[in-house]
């Protein structure tokens, strides 16, 4: 690294001193904290994104958002060239530079890391980073800090994409690196055109439920509601009413996280909405849940969560693959029999996992965290992942997409196989509609809507796919959460010695009992999740296991 570059880094970093006594860690959500503490961190993430661009020779992204957190918080995360999250290999470096105490320490870390990663600051393609932010008042100043971090790498270019949803920013990074136009208009055009294609491919004779023709969406008073209110004008065959578009407080009594956790209707919804199909986005529009308001039960709802969304998607895609394979022996179709897989975490309701397995689908579990789900889903020709909180997507492998396009062209040239040709067309349209970079509430919502119309289903019929097992989540305060070590996708506790055997003894007392513990990634608590056939049983199982955790590690349940 030349002296000029070193001096620019030191001088720039001096303008953004880190807050004293604050240590941040880069996780699935990136860095997240009270917005007043983040200016230095966001500046340094700008540097990291530029270095990642230099390393890969591709465009990267920086998104300023705290998703479903309260409005006083904010956060920052990096979009890798694939459009996905920052590679896990770089997370330790992110932690190190965010917590470097002074400019000289920061410079030394960068020099050492650049040498280790063989990053050249001269002669190659200049770094390029796309920047976006949500609607938080703190976003503009933090985005400016990110820009200054990017520009502290000589020659680096930071392009402000404006106020966007998190999935839009990720989609734009992926698009740029695939030689496509990266803009909000191109994003909306791709979604609307693929949605229109799927609507045109609905089977004839499907009866539409006239009482279920309007979708009412809670926009969480965030960026997603504003975008959807604009985008809905481009959609035909779907009537959308958007509430909580930004007039109220972001994420306060609204949004997917609130609705999914509290199982109550968001602000602005009430008894008059009973019978309507409703959905909630979260603050940055990367989560989606559906719900219907119960009649004469105050704010109680029937929740249709991410597990049910996953099940609907899996059902539809499995049907299209079955149509494609119809009439062909396995031997005849050995050239490409798509490997469809479903990825969940241990937090997925056991009833959903049973339903998916009964469909004959391969279901695999990963540790909690979207980065693990996404990575595992890439191992399939079609990988579907969702968390119960409504964050998930569908991934199509490049090899399968190429085969599908070739098969589609072949079917178009023959008089037979019109059903197969339509199935191939539907799968290709799904691959364009769904955001393969990251979970996207807007694209997910459109896919739900078109499948419901394809099936001729109301939200009530959809919700009857299976009935969730009652569950309970608790957390136990502990002195050292690292004392709990898990295996088998966090379903088995291998440390402390003996605790899993004690948990198994409690589980055995309940019909269809299931329970696991895992350490929190952010605070000194151990989380407990329990299921059983009744709510009382689930509550009792969770409480007894929480007591075990307290006995083995100490110091009280919350």
Answer whether residue 188 is part of any domain: no
Query: Residue 152 corresponds to which tokens in the numbers above?
Result: 């502290």
User: Over 90: is that where the pLDDT of 290 sits?
Assistant: yes
- The yes-or-no answer on residue 7 being catalytic is no
Q: Which of 72-81, 127-136, 290-299, 472-481 has the lowest mean pLDDT?
A: 290-299
Residues 164 and 42 in one domain: yes
Task: Check the annotation: does 52 bind a ligand.
Answer: no
Q: What is the pLDDT of residues 297-352, one digit of tens each?
A: 778 999 999 999 999 999 999 999 999 988 765 444 444 689 999 999 999 999 99
Answer whether residue 505 is part of any domain: yes
Residues paired with residue 197 on neighbouring β-strands, in sequence order: none
Residues 274 and 381 in one domain: no
User: Over 70: is that where the pLDDT of 141 sits?
Assistant: yes
Residues 346 and 446 in one domain: yes
Task: Check the annotation: does 470 bind a ligand.
Answer: no
The answer to whether 126 and 157 have CB atoms below 8 angstroms apart is yes
Residues 269 and 336 in one domain: no
Answer whether residue 285 is part of any domain: yes
- Domain range for 506: 471-553
Residues 125 and 51 in one domain: yes
Confidence of residue 523 (pLDDT cuts 50, 70, 90): confident
Residues 136 and 262 in one domain: no
Residues 365 and 459 in one domain: yes
Residue count of the chain, please give it.
Answer: 558
Residues 404 and 444 in one domain: yes
Answer whether residue 215 is part of any domain: yes
Task: Check the annotation: does 556 bind a ligand.
Answer: no
- Whole-number Cα distances in Å, 84 to 97, 184, 465, 505: 21, 18, 31, 41
Give the CATH number of the domain where residue 257 resides.
Answer: 3.40.120.10
Give the CATH number of the domain where residue 525 resides.
Answer: 3.30.310.50
User: Over 70: is that where the pLDDT of 100 sits?
Assistant: yes
Residues paired with residue 300 on neighbouring β-strands, in sequence order: 264
Residue among 12, 53, 67, 192 flagged as catalytic: 67
Residue at which a domain ends, from 245, 272, 304: 304
Residues 311 and 440 in one domain: yes
CA distance 341 to 386: 12
Answer whether residue 374 is part of any domain: yes
Q: What is the pLDDT of residues 185-199, one digit of tens each?
A: 999 999 999 999 999
Residues 254 and 297 in one domain: yes
Q: What are phi and psi of 39, to 5 degrees?
A: -60, -50
Domain count for the chain? 4
Answer whether residue 190 is part of any domain: no
Residues 46 and 103 in one domain: yes
Residues 81 and 130 in one domain: yes
- Average pLDDT over the chain, rounded to an integer: 93
Task: Check the annotation: does 388 bind a ligand.
Answer: yes
Residue at which a domain ends, from 276, 304, 332: 304
Max Cα distance, the chain (Å)? 72
Answer whether residue 187 is part of any domain: no
Answer whether residue 193 is part of any domain: no
The answer to whether 198 and 450 have CB atoms below 8 angstroms apart is yes
Confidence of residue 557 (pLDDT cuts 50, 70, 90): very low
Q: What is the pLDDT of residues 366-402, one digit of tens each?
A: 999 899 999 999 999 999 999 999 999 999 999 999 9
Task: Check the annotation: does 299 bind a ligand.
Answer: no
Residue at which a domain ends, from 155, 181, 207: 181
Provide the whole-model pTM.
0.94
Q: What is the pLDDT of residues 531-543, one digit of tens each?
A: 999 999 999 999 9
User: Over 60: is that where the pLDDT of 208 sits?
Assistant: no
């Amino acid at each position: 690294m030349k002296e000029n570059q070193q001096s620019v880094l030191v001088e720039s970093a001096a303008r953004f001193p880190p807050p004293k006594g604050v240590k941040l860690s880069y996780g699935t959500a990136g860095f997240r904290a009270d917005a007043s503490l983040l200016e230095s961190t966001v500046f340094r993430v700008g540097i990291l994104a530029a270095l990642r661009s230099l390393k890969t020779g591709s465009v990267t992204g920086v998104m300023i958002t705290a998703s479903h957190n309260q409005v006083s918080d904010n956060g920052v995360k990096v979009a890798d060239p694939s459009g996905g999250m920052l590679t896990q290999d770089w997370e330790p470096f992110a932690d190190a530079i965010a917590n470097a105490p002074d400019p000289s320490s920061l410079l030394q870390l960068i020099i050492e890391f650049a040498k280790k990663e063989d990053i050249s600051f001269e002669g190659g393609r200049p770094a390029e980073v796309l920047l976006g932010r949500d609607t938080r008042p703190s976003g503009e100043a933090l985005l400016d800090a990110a820009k200054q971090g990017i520009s502290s790498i000589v020659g680096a270019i930071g392009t402000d994409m404006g106020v966007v949803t998190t999935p839009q920013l990720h989609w734009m990074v992926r698009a740029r690196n695939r030689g496509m136009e990266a803009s909000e208009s191109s994003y909306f055009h791709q979604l609307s055109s693929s949605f229109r294609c799927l609507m045109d491919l609905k089977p004839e004779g499907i009866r539409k439920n006239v009482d279920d023709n309007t979708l009412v969406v809670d926009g969480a008073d965030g960026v997603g509601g504003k975008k959807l209110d604009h985008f809905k004008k481009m959609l035909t065959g779907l009537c959308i009413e958007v509430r909580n578009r930004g007039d109220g407080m972001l994420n306060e009594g609204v949004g997917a996280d609130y609705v999914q956790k509290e199982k109550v209707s968001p602000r602005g919804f009430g008894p008059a909405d009973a019978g309507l199909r409703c959905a909630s986005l979260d603050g940055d529009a990367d989560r989606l849940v559906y719900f219907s308001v119960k009649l004469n039960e105050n704010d109680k709802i029937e929740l249709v969560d991410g597990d049910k969304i996953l099940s609907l998607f899996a059902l539809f895609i499995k049907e299209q693959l079955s149509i494609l394979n119809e009439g062909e022996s396995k031997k005849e179709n050995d050239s490409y029999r798509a490997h469809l897989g479903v990825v969940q975490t241990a937090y997925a309701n056991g009833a959903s996992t049973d339903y998916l397995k009964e469909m004959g689908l391969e279901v695999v579990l990963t540790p909690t965290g979207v980065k693990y789900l996404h990575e595992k889903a890439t191992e399939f020709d079609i990988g579907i992942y969702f968390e119960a909180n409504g964050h998930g997507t569908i991934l199509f492998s490049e090899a399968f997409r190429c085969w599908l396009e070739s098969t589609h062209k072949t079917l178009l040239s023959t008089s037979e196989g019109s059903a197969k040709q339509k199935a191939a067309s539907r799968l290709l349209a799904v691959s364009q509609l769904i955001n393969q970079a990251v979970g996207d509430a807007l694209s997910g919502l459109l896919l739900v809507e078109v499948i419901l119309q394809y099936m001729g289903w109301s939200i009530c019929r959809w919700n009857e796919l299976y009935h969730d097992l009652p569950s309970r989540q608790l957390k136990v305060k502990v002195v050292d959460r690292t004392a709990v070590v898990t295996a088998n996708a966090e379903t088995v506790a291998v440390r402390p010695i003996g605790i899993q055997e004690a948990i198994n003894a409690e589980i055995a007392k309940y019909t269809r009992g299931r329970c696991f513990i895992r350490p929190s990634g952010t605070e000194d608590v151990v989380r407990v999740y329990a299921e059983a056939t009744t709510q009382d049983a689930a509550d009792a199982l969770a409480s007894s296991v929480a007591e075990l955790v307290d006995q083995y590690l100490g110091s009280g349940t919350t």
